[in-house]
Structure 1
Amino acid sequence: MTFRKAIGKLHLWLGLASGLIVLIVSLSGAVFVFQDEIRDLTQPWRKVAVQARPMLPPSVLQATAAQAKPGFTPSWTTYNGSDRSTAVYLSKGEEVYYAFLNPYTGQLLKVQNLRSDFFTLVQYLHMYLLLPPAIGKWVVDVAVITFVVMLISGIVLWWPRNKAARKQRFSVKWDASPKRRNYDLHNVLGFYASAFALVLALTGLCISYEWLMTGVGALANGGRSIAAENAEPTVDTLLTARPARPVVDIAYTRMRQQSPQAEMLLIGPADNATAPVWCTAYGKALHYYHRDEYRFHPRTGQLLLVQPHASKSNGKKLADMNYDLHTGLILGFGGKVIAFVVSLVAASMPVTGVVLWWGRRHKAPRRRPALATA
């Protein structure tokens, strides 16, 4: 068996084994790409009028959210921008809600059940196939790794052997037979989308595996690990003096002072005496790359760590960029369009591949030429 035939067999059987999962993951990813735009069109409580007064501190908004859902604990609070509502995460056991409030007035705008939210379900379908996370994550990750191998093997199979073949590999012959069109769609679209699809697949694996993201960051740093930059500060549990204001309000004020240009602020809960309060200031609303990171003492509000975006290594910046790369956000709306189209092409690959395989297995028998009679 030649090397090319061996690659073809590998490509075929890996595709048949993972095709359905790749189809589901790709389609759900395409839907999820435009979640913010669709939410803004269908969920009016996400937007508020800009007012000429400061926003309320998180403790006030959290108290209002807790009153809306008695028995639920408020935790993560996100200020999404000057013209957007603030979201407070509420939880009780496995029940989770988002309370959306006007950050200027404290008015409760909406309490949303995340377990029944459409895009939350799409996200879980994309990440876990709606299976228990421990099982679904493993199944999806194996399928994505298989997809990466298929992309590489597909390029090997696509690679033209001569000039004549090269001319035929870059365009779809729309006026050809259905079988030929399907063949061209599988090969030509797969080639054009392969580089972008590889980025989407690898960034998805980096979300799943921290060690992989750490390795990519070290590679971007020329071998220097980013582990030190990811290290969390130690909390001195002997410090118990309570400040006059809630710790989350101290964190909010400090971030506003040190990151005045930040449009979006994420403030973690201060309910763990041994872990720092995890807070982040993002340069642009609904974008996650440019970020200044802060850590505060959960009891005293003491600032334990400041990590501005400008001071981070290239590897750490690449790690921060990973989600925006995965969704196309890094290039704005145009990048989302690219991610959407590439996801659709990736979803089409198992379909056109199966049709191609089925057609080869069920070829119409060739008619033998009639024998000339004497």
Structure 2
Amino acid sequence: MKKIFGWLHLWLGIISGLVVLVVAGTGALLVFEEELEHTFRSSFFYVEVPENASRVSLDNITAYVQQEYPGHKIFQMAIEPEADRSIIYVLRKGKVKELKNQLYLAVNPYTGKIIGSQPGNKRFFSVVLHLHRYLCMGETGKVITGISCSIFAILVITGLILWWPKRNNRKQRFRVKWDASFKRLNWDLHAVFGFYTHIILLVIALTGLVWSYKWVNNLIYLAFDGNTKQQKIVAPESIPVENTGIAYLEKILSTTNERLTYEGKITIRFAEVDSLAVSAAKENRSRHDNVSDFLYFQAGTGKLVKERLYDNESAGTIARRWIYPIHTGSFYGFPTKILAFIATLVGFTLPISGFLIWIGRKKKKPVAKAKKKLPLDKHPNPSVQY
């Protein structure tokens, strides 16, 4: 059986190795997306808070942004609770799935002026995410990453079987022999590090299948709700009212903070169709990642139309919301992110070390045939014991 699993592990690894390398490498970057982006582009996300700080009306800022970019449609704006944070707008035009048609803007909430802008296809982490999910190849890339992700899950399981030590060989399988030859060290890095991270890597691979295959996504709802009917988050119908003179975006912001008193980022999003309500999602930072409550408002008046709270969701929807933080390692903050980062780095090295193991075996010289033993009386030196 080990020979069969070894054959599977080898050839499935060769087939999927390059894709796993790309997906694991980009995944490692995405674990700390927010921290890295805020560090290297701090001027985009942070502003100086003036003395006697007073913020410009959100309605005025939004009107100004729309005036500056008439060819785009404002899709959403994100307002952080911290005083020194900029407001991030996302604008769209044309085919929304194409990165080049998305535009990110940072606006100073105290001056109402645009700090900077960046097209989606030039935003580093937008490209990294597109590469991670689609290999920058659209739906074809999604199919390839889905197959490779499935193969990687099999590789983790077969790798564990191949790693499983015999009774007299256990110590070797749990530690790396750093002073060994390159071949031995490479094998240890592949097998030992693979063992210590195999559970995390398997969980990441299996949760990744949720985005690749609809039937995997449906299994979550079937397991927790008893059916595959998903409760999609869709804004309710609400006819907008024009020329009311009401700063309705400010009203939406204040109402959201009054009804949802915890601290968290508020994302106000406009529907694709004008006849639908404006949504306000607030992240609950007192709980695990990806917990948000939704409120829906009438455009023009800021009248609350509907609320959709996390605790009232179905068990299947709540379980589905857990998938993202489990996949990224963000469900318990920084400690679990570090574990996910280390595991994905190991996952990134596995195709490389595995390939080197395979090449090393191919180049191995055939063992010379043992010399035929001669009777001692006919041997040129009978005293030598062979």
Same topology, TM > 0.5: yes
Q: Output the CA distance in 1 between the equivalents of 2:277 and 2:217.
A: 23
Distance of 1:204 and 1:69 partners within structure 2: 36
Question: 2:141 aligns to what?
Answer: 136
Deviation at 1:201, TM superposition (A): 1.8
Q: Identify which of 138, 144, 147 aligns with 2:152.
A: 147
Cross-structure match for 1:188: 192
Which residue in 1 is equivalent to 2:81? 81
Give the Cα separation in 2 of the matches to 1:262 and 1:31: 27
Kept in 2: contact 1:269–1:277 (CA 8 A)? yes
**Can you list the C-alpha shifts for 1:299-319, whole angstroms capped at 9, x where unaligned?**
775544322233345543332
CA distance in 2, matches of 1:357, 1:259: 57
- The one-letter amino acid paired with 1:337 is I
1:98-120 Cα distance to aligned partner (Å, 9 max, x none): 11112344232111222112222
Q: Distance in 1 between matches of 2:313 and 2:329?
A: 22
CA distance in 2, matches of 1:324, 1:304: 30
Cα distance in 2 for partners of 1:89, 1:259 equals: 24
Residues 1:35 and 2:41 aligned together: no
CA distance in 2, matches of 1:182, 1:325: 30
Identity of aligned residues (%): 31
Partner SS, residue 321 of structure 1: helix
1:307 paired residue number: 308
TM-score, scaled to structure 2: 0.84
TM superposition shift of 1:18? 0.4
Partner Cα separation in structure 2 for residue 67 and residue 218 of structure 1: 47
Structure with the greater alpha carbon radius of gyration: 2
> Are the equivalent residues in 2 in contact too, given 1:99–1:109 (CA < 8 A)?
yes
Summarize the Cα distance change of 1:274–1:11 in structure 2 as closer, same or farther, 3 Å threshold: farther
Equivalent position of 1:235 in the other structure: 237
Q: Which runs of 5+ in 1 are unaligned?
A: none
Query: For residues 37 and 207 of structure 2, what CA distance do their matches in structure 1 show?
Result: 24
Distance 1:22 1:240, change over 3 A: closer
SS in 2 for 1:305: strand
| In the alignment, structure 1 residue 107 sits paired with structure 2 residue 105 | no
CA drift of 1:42 comes to 2.1
Partner of 2:204: 200
Map of 2:62 onto structure 1: 62
Give CA-to-partner distance per residue, 1:308-356, whole Å, 9 cap, x none. 2333455433322322222222222222222221111001111111111
Give distance in 2, aligned partners of 1:315 and 1:157: 36
Separation in structure 1 between the aligned mates of residue 284 and residue 277 of structure 2, nearest angstrom = 22
Paired residues for 1:159-198 under 5 Å: 159-160=164-165, 162-198=166-202
| Cα deviation 1:270-327 (Å, max 9, x = unaligned) | 4514544343110239x84221122345677554432223334554333223222222
CA distance in structure 2 between the aligned counterparts of 1:56 and 1:320, rounded to whole angstroms: 34
Q: Where does residue 122 of structure 2 map in the other structure?
A: 116
Greater CA drift, 134-143 or 164-173:
164-173
SS of structure 1 residue aligned to 2:332:
helix
The 5 Å alignment of 1:214-233 reads 214-219=218-223, 221=224, 223-225=225-227, 227=229, 229-230=231-232, 232=234
Give yes or no for contact 2:175–2:192 (8 Å, CA) kept in 1: yes
Superposition deviation, residue 250 in structure 1: 4.7
* Residues 5 and 304 (structure 1), Cα distance of their counterparts in 2 relative to 1, 3 Å cut: farther
Secondary structure of the residue that 1:280 maps to in structure 2? strand
Q: CA deviation at 1:190?
A: 0.8
Give the counterpart letter for 1:137 in structure 2. K
Instruction: Tell me the SS of whatever aligns to 2:296.
Output: strand
Write out per-residue CA displacement over residues 196-254 of structure 1, whole angstroms, 9 at most, x where no aligned residue: 112222232223445533422553x3x54584643646526xx5655833765554333
Closer, same or farther in 2 for the Cα pair 1:228/1:113, shift >3 Å?
closer
User: C-alpha displacement at 1:84, in angstroms?
Assistant: 1.4
Distance 1:124 1:144 in 2: 16
Structure 1 residues 53 and 204: alpha-carbon distance in aligned structure 2, compared to 1, 3 A threshold: farther
Q: Cα offset for 1:368?
A: 4.1
Inter-CA distance 259–210: structure 2 relative to 1 (3 Å threshold)? farther
- Say whether the 8 Å CA contact 1:18–1:143 is kept in structure 2: yes
CA distance in 2, matches of 1:141, 1:57: 45
Alignment correspondent of 1:25:
23
Ranges in structure 2 where 5+ consecutive residues have no aligned partner? 95-99, 381-386
Q: TM-score, normalised by structure 1?
A: 0.86
How many angstroms apart in 1 are the aligned matches of 2:188 and 2:60?
60
Q: Structure 1 residues 196, 50: CA separation in 2 closer, same or farther (over 3 Å shift)?
A: farther
> Contact between 2:56 and 2:110, CA under 8 Å: does it hold in 1?
yes
Deviates more, 1:80-89 or 1:346-355: 80-89
Q: Equivalents in 1 of 2:146, 2:351: separation in Å?
A: 17
* Structure 2: distance between partners of 1:182 and 1:308: 51
Amino acid at match of 2:136: L
Counterpart amino acid of residue 362 in structure 1: K
Shift of 1:49: 4.0
Contact 1:22 1:143 (8 Å CA) reproduced: yes
